[in-house]
Amino acid sequence: MKLVRTVTLAMTASLLAGFALAQNPADFPTRPVKLVVPFAAGGPTDVVARILADLLSARWSGKTVLIENRPGAGTVVATAAVVNSPADGHTVLIGTNSLLINPAIDQKLPYDTYKALTGVSMIATQPVALVANLSFAPSTVPELVAYAKAQQKPMNYTSPGPRGVGHFAGEMLKQRAGVEMTHINYNGSAPALTDVMAGRVPIMFDVWHSAKRYVDAGKLKLIAGAGAPRLADAPDVPTLNETYPGFDVIALNAAVVPSGTPTPVVERLSADIKAVVESPEFIGKTKHLGIFPKGNSPAELDTWMRKETARWADIAKAAKIKVD
C-alpha cells in the first residue's frame, strides 16, 4: 500500500507540475532542454543545433540546453526517441527534410508523423544546387536535358543519400524534363562529391554550402540552383525554376515536439526560437554555413510541412519510390 501511495503521489505531482507549466509558460523551461539531432556530431544540422542551444540558453538566463545526437534509419531513430519523450517541451527534435519525406514514401514508421509530432518553428532553410564534373559537357539546364535525352542509357546522378532532398530533386527533374536518370546511392555528401569530382558520377544535387567550396576551387561546375530564387552568391547562374516554373527545392531545419505538449509551452518555445534565429548573433554565427535563418509560428510550420509531404508523395508515387 505504501508503494502504491508513493507512486500515486509522484504521478499527481508530475501532472500538477505539467498543469502549472501549461498555465504559466513564463516558467519554461523548468529543467534542462534537450535538442535531438538526427545525425552524428559535426555535420551542418549539428552545428546549427549547437549554435541554437547556446543562444537559447543565454535567452533563458543560463538554463541548460543539451545536444543529443541520435543518427540512424534516415532520421527515424531520433524522431522515434522524441515521439516517446514526455510532451512538455523539454525534448525537441531538430527536423530535416527527411521528416517530411519519410511519410511521403509510405515507410512503415514506428509513429504517425503528423499525429505524433507538433511543429514549433522553422529554424533555417538552405539552398540546394545542381553541380557537375568539370568534364561533363552540358553547362546549363537545357543542355543537360538535351544531353540526357540523347543517351542510350539513363544518365546517372547522385546526392548525399537515398530518399533525401537531393534524391527527390533529381526525381522532380526527371519528371518535369521527361528524361531518364538513375540515382546512385551514397551515405553522405563527402563520398558522393568525391566521386563526382573523379568523374564516376557526372552530376549531383547537394546543399549549396557543401558543394560551393569545390565550385569556388574549380573542381566542380555549377549547373543551376534548385530553389526558386537564384543563389545569392551565384546571381549569374539561372535556376531550374527558370526552365521549369514551380521547381523549388530547399533544405531545412525545423523544431518539433511531441504532440500533446501544452499549447502555451509550444507558443513560448516557438517565440523564443524565432527570436533567437532572427537575432544578429545567430545570423552572424551561421553566416559561414550559407543558411537563411527563418522562424515562424507553429501553425505556419504545420501548414508548410504538410504541403511539402504532399508534394514529395506525388513525386515518390510517380517515381515508384517506396520503402517497406
Q: Are 69 and 37 in contact (CB under 8 A)?
A: yes
The C-alpha atoms of residue 290 and residue 275 are separated, in whole angstroms, by 19
Q: Are 139 and 223 in contact (CB under 8 A)?
A: yes
Question: Apex CA 72: angle with CA 71 and CA 73, to 5°?
Answer: 150
Domain with CATH 3.40.190.10 in the chain: 127-243
Task: Name the band, by pLDDT with cuts 50, 70 and 90, for residue 10.
Answer: very low
* Nearest one of 106, 210, 235 to 158, comparing CA atoms: 210
Where are the strands (E) in 163-265, listed by range? 181-184, 203-207, 220-225, 250-258
What CATH number should be reported for the domain whose range is 2-126+252-319? 3.40.190.150
Domain with CATH 3.40.190.150 in the chain: 2-126+252-319
The C-alpha atoms of residue 307 and residue 100 are separated, in whole angstroms, by 9
Q: Are 74 and 98 in contact (CB under 8 A)?
A: yes
Is residue 185 within a helix (H) or strand (E), and if so which, with residue range? none
Task: Name the band, by pLDDT with cuts 50, 70 and 90, for residue 13.
Answer: very low
* Nearest one of 121, 73, 115, 112 to 93, comparing CA atoms: 121
Is the confidence at residue 114, as pLDDT, over 70? yes
**How many residues belong to the chain?**
324
3-state secondary structure of 258: strand
Mean pLDDT score, 216-221: 97
Question: Apex CA 310: angle with CA 119 and CA 202, to 5°?
Answer: 105
What mean pLDDT is reported for the chain? 90
Mean pLDDT score, 252-263: 97
The C-alpha atoms of residue 53 and residue 64 are separated, in whole angstroms, by 9
The C-alpha atoms of residue 5 and residue 9 are separated, in whole angstroms, by 6
Q: Are 215 and 197 in contact (CB under 8 A)?
A: no
Is the confidence at residue 16, as pLDDT, over 50? no
What does pTM read for this prediction?
0.82
Task: Name the band, by pLDDT with cuts 50, 70 and 90, for residue 72.
Answer: confident
Mean pLDDT score, 133-150: 98
Mean pLDDT score, 225-240: 95
* Per-residue model confidence (pLDDT) at position 6: 40
Angle between helices 165-177 and 298-319 (to 10 degrees): 60
CATH number assigned to the domain with residue range 127-243, chosen from the 4 options 3.30.70.140, 3.40.190.10, 3.40.50.9100, 3.30.70.2390 = 3.40.190.10
Task: Name the band, by pLDDT with cuts 50, 70 and 90, for residue 209.
Answer: confident
Is residue 321 within a helix (H) or strand (E), and if so which, with residue range? none
